[in-house]
Amino acid sequence: MLAAEPAKPVKKEPAPKRGRPAKPAAEKAPAKRGRPAAKPASGTAKTAAGNGKKSRAARKTPVRIIPLGGLHEVGKNITVYECGQDAFLVDCGMGFPDADMLGVDLVIPDFTYLEKNADKIRGIVITHGHEDHIGSIPYLLRKINVPIYGTKLAIGLIEGKLKEHGLLGKADLRVITPKQTVKMGCMSVEFIRVNHSIPDSVGVAIHTPAGVIVYTGDFKVDFSPIEGDIIDLARFAELGSKGVLCLLSDSTNAERPGSTMSESKVGQSFNTLFNRAEGKRIIVATFSSNIHRIQQIADNAMKYGRKVAVSGRSMINVVGKAMELGYLKVPDGLFIDIDAINRYPADKIVLITTGSQGEPLSALSRMASSDHRKVSVTPNDFIIISATPIPGNEKHVTRVVNDLLKLGAEVIYEKMYEVHVSGHACQDELKLILSLTKPKFFIPVHGEYKHLVAHAHLAQSVGIPPSNILIGDIGQVIQVDNVEMKVIGNVEAGGVFVDGLGVGDVGSIVIRDRKRLAQDGLIIIVATIEKETGACMAGPDIVSRGFVYVRESEELMEEARLLVKKALNQCLDSGIRDWTTMKNSIKDALSSFIYRKTKRSPMILPIMMEI
C-alpha cells in the first residue's frame, strides 16, 4: 500500500528556504526519564529504500519532532517542531495529577528545553481550547513570550485564563481560521477543521523542507455536527495524494472498535428525557467546554418551554464567553440568573451545572451533599449526568449519584441512555485518517502506552510497515527526513508539579513524605539537651498525628516514651554528642518497637534542642 520512495542520486542537502544554516541535531541534554526502547515499533524507522543498503535518495533538511508531553499519558499535550534554527510549539497543555501525586493541583511540562532554545521559538499553535492543550500557557508565558495562534474560541478561553493569572496584557494572541497558513521560520502551519467535543477545533499540516507533517489534534469524524463544518476530510485526502511525510494522530480511543457517535445523537436523547421529565425540574451536568452539548440542552429547553440557568464557576465563564463570541446561539431571555430560578415553577427550569465527574467541590457534588447555597435537590428533580466517568473518577461519580438518589431525585447516569458521546475518534475513524493521508511515517500520540500500541496496530492493519511506525516518548528528539525517521537524542522532559502558588517546589521527596504520612502518620520526639553537660533538661516528649487514637493508646505511647528515654540516655552515657547518631539510634529503637507492636511504619522525627 505504501510504496517506498524511489531512490535518487545523493546530492548536497539544500539549505532551508529562509536561508538559515541547518544544524543537524537537537541539543542532547541528559534524559530525565529512561524508558526501554519502545516496542513493537523500533526506535529507528527507515523506509525500505533506506533499510539495509546505502540510501541513494536526496536527503532533505530534516525536521525534529520533540514531544514534551502527551505520550505515555493522557493530557499535558505539547510538542516542539524544529527545522534548522526555527522552532514552534503545537499546544501547551496541563495534566491532572495521578492519585499518588498527593496534594498536587496540576502538572505542567518541564520547560527546560524551551528556555534553553527560546531564541528559536517562533510561536505557539493551539489546536483547541481544552485544558490539556492550553492549560500550561500562563506558566510558559512567564518564561517565553511568543505569539499564540488559535481559533477564535481557543483564543477567547486563553484570554480568560491569562486574565486570572494577571498576564492578559503581556500576551500576543492571534486568531486564525481553518485553511489559513502561518509562517514559522522555514516552516509553515496550515490549519484544518476537525470535529471534537469543543467547537472550533483544528488539526495542522506543517509544511517543512523535509515534507508535510500532519497532526490531527484531538478529533473525531462527525457527519452531523451541531454547528460548524464537518472535519475537512477533503483536505486530509488532498495532502495524502500529494504526499504526507509523517502523521501524528490522536490515540485516545484507539482501543475502541467502530466509530464514535455523532454529538447530535445526544440531542435526541435529551428530547426523549425532557419529555419524560414533565412536571419536574431538570438538572444536566456536563463539561463546561462542550458548547455543542450546552446548545442542545438550550434547544430542548426552548422546545419544552423552560428557562435555562447555569451553575459552577467554569460553566458560567465558558457559557458567557461562548455567547459573547457567538458559539452559543440562544434567544434573549432564555438564560436566566441562577438567583431567579425560584421565581419560575420547577418544571419551567433547566439547570446546567459542572460536576459531571463527581469532583468533590463542584456544583453538582455540593447539590448532592445538600451543601449548595442556591439549589436544593428534591424528589421533584430529574437529573441527567451527561458524561462518562474518566478512569479514576468512577467512585466520585457513584458517590454523587447515590447522594442524589437519596434526596429522592431521579438520576440518569452512565450508560442508561445515550446522554454522552466521546470527542475522540474510534478505530474506523483512525483508519480513515490513516488511509486518506497515506503517511510515509506514523507516530501515534495522545494516550497511555497501551493506546499508542493499539493505534500502531491499526496503522499496520492499513498497510504502514512496522518499521515506519514509531512509538515515542516525551523528551525524545525524533528526526524525520524524506528517507528515515529515528530518535537522535533526548532532551529534559517530565512533569512539574503545581501545588497552590508553588510551581516545582513540590517534587519526589515531598511526595514521598506525603505518602508516608498518609499511610501511617508520624511520631515526633522532642528533647532539650544541655550543651555543656549533655543532660536532658526537658523531654523526651512524644507527639503523634495520623498514627493512633492517642487516648486509646496511652499505654503504647508511654512505653514508646520510656524506650526513647532509654536510648537517649544510653547515647549520653556513652559520651555521644553527635546529633545525627543520637537521632538515628532513637529512630531505630522506636521504629522497630512500633512495627513489632502495630505492624505500621509511621514517619519518626526526632527533634533535639540545645541550650
Active site residues: 250, 424
State the nearest-atom distance from the C-beta of 450 to a copy of itself, in Å.
Answer: 5
Cell of 201: 477545533
Please, what is the end-to-end C-alpha distance for the chain in angstroms?
A: 82
Task: Output 38 or 375, the one with its CB closest to a copy of itself.
Answer: 38
In the block, residue with C-alpha cell 505518602: 515
State the nearest-atom distance from the C-beta of 375 to a copy of itself, in Å.
Answer: 17
State the nearest-atom distance from the C-beta of 156 to a copy of itself, in Å.
Answer: 26
State the nearest-atom distance from the C-beta of 194 to a copy of itself, in Å.
Answer: 26
Residue positions forming the annotated binding site for substrate: 288-290, 420-424
SS3 of residue 575 by DSSP: coil
CA dihedral 278, 374, 383, 367 (to 10 degrees): -150
C-alpha 352, offset from chain centre? 24
Task: Output 340 or 605, the one with its CB closest to a copy of itself.
Answer: 605
Task: Output 196 or 420, the one with its CB closest to a copy of itself.
Answer: 420
State the nearest-atom distance from the C-beta of 588 to a copy of itself, in Å.
Answer: 19
State the nearest-atom distance from the C-beta of 519 to a copy of itself, in Å.
Answer: 4
Task: Output 26 or 590, the one with its CB closest to a copy of itself.
Answer: 590
Residue positions forming the annotated binding site for Zn(2+): 128, 130, 132-133, 196, 218, 446
Close Cβ partners of 166 (under 8 Å, ≥ 6 residues apart): none
Task: Output 100 or 115, the one with its CB closest to a copy of itself.
Answer: 100
Q: How far is CA 588 from CA 190, 294, 573, in A?
A: 64, 60, 18
State the nearest-atom distance from the C-beta of 502 to a copy of itself, in Å.
Answer: 6
Task: Output 333 or 391, the one with its CB closest to a copy of itself.
Answer: 391
Beta-bridged to residue 44, according to DSSP, are 486
Q: How far apart are CA 349 and CA 335, in angstroms?
A: 10
Close Cβ partners of 333 (under 8 Å, ≥ 6 residues apart): 307
Query: Strand order in 211-215's β-sheet?
Result: 181-184, 187-194, 201-208, 211-215, 246-250, 441-445
**Residue among 74, 27, 37, 64 nearest 495 (CA):** 74
Task: Output 431 or 514, the one with its CB closest to a copy of itself.
Answer: 514
State the nearest-atom distance from the C-beta of 274 to a copy of itself, in Å.
Answer: 21
- Residue 498 corresponds to which amino acid? V
In DSSP notation, 525-553 reads: EEEEE-TTT--EEEEEEEEEESSS-TGGG
Task: Output 53 or 531, the one with its CB closest to a copy of itself.
Answer: 531
Question: Which run of H or of E encompasses 88?
Answer: strand 86-90
**Residue among 396, 325, 322, 326 nearest 352 (CA):** 322
CA dihedral 441, 444, 449, 454 (to 10 degrees): -90
Q: How far apart are CA 273 and CA 296, in angstroms?
A: 13
Close Cβ partners of 355 (under 8 Å, ≥ 6 residues apart): 285, 312, 362, 363, 364, 365, 366, 367, 400
Q: How far is CA 567 from CA 228, 553, 564, 573, in A?
A: 75, 21, 5, 10
Close Cβ partners of 297 (under 8 Å, ≥ 6 residues apart): 270, 284, 286, 308, 350, 352, 386
